[in-house]
Amino acid sequence: MPSLLWLISILAAYLIGSIPFGVMLGKAKGIDIRAHGSKNIGATNVGRVLGRRLGVLCFVLDMMKGIIPVLAAGSACGVINVEPGEMSQGQMWLWLLVAAAVVTGHMASIFLGFAGGKGVATGFGAALAMWPLLTLPALGALVVWYAMMRLMRYVSLASMTAAVSLPAWYLLRCIPPSGENIPGSIIHASPPLIVTAGLALLILWRHRANIARLRRGEEPRIGERG
């Protein structure tokens, strides 16, 4: 039964992640968001094209579709509120597969011909829902995102920096308070480290056009259209 629950959770997470809220909000206004601005379906482009209020709504909806399936799977399969040292690596990998499925759904939606967004808001929601495995690292990444936004005023740069900081925050979380057997603790809790590092690389790849614009000085800052 636990194996079946995990399988159902992974499939459901992909389908929920595939819901293209940015496209739906655009169509409600008579606009195909994929044909305007950066043509991305995420909150940043929605905010630039449709206004800040709908951009914030899109971010919240994309984040919630990361939170809900991961939280539900963790609760149903008994891994919520379990410390990394008390969870088996198999349980970590299965829970991470649920998180990966929901992010994959956002990036390669079955409803959009396997196209999609960059996965930042959904990935943040998925990490936040993995209590306590990735919740605190996700909040640390949010602090980094906010600081970069205030400092540089580039959403893309803030998102990439936050994504890269997530595995670093998790690595710090793996260090036991006693300072004993640090290598063993890190090795046992390595699945989330591997996945968050992979997610960071994927988000950097999805932002390659933004990186090119940043290098050319053409990336719009907050409040600018582009």
State residue 183's pLDDT score.
86
Domain boundaries, the chain: 2-216
Say which residues have a Cβ less than 8 Å from residue 2's Cβ, sequence separation at least 6: 77
116 pLDDT higher than 80:
yes
What is the distance between the alpha carbons of residues 118 and 107, in angstroms, rounded to a whole number?
6
1 pLDDT higher than 90:
no
pTM of the full structure: 0.91
What is the distance between the alpha carbons of residues 25 and 33, in angstroms, rounded to a whole number?
8
Is the C-alpha dihedral spanning 204, 207, 208, 211 positive or negative? Answer: negative
CB 54 within 8 A of CB 23: no
Tens of pLDDT along 84-112?
Answer: 888 999 999 999 999 999 999 999 999 99
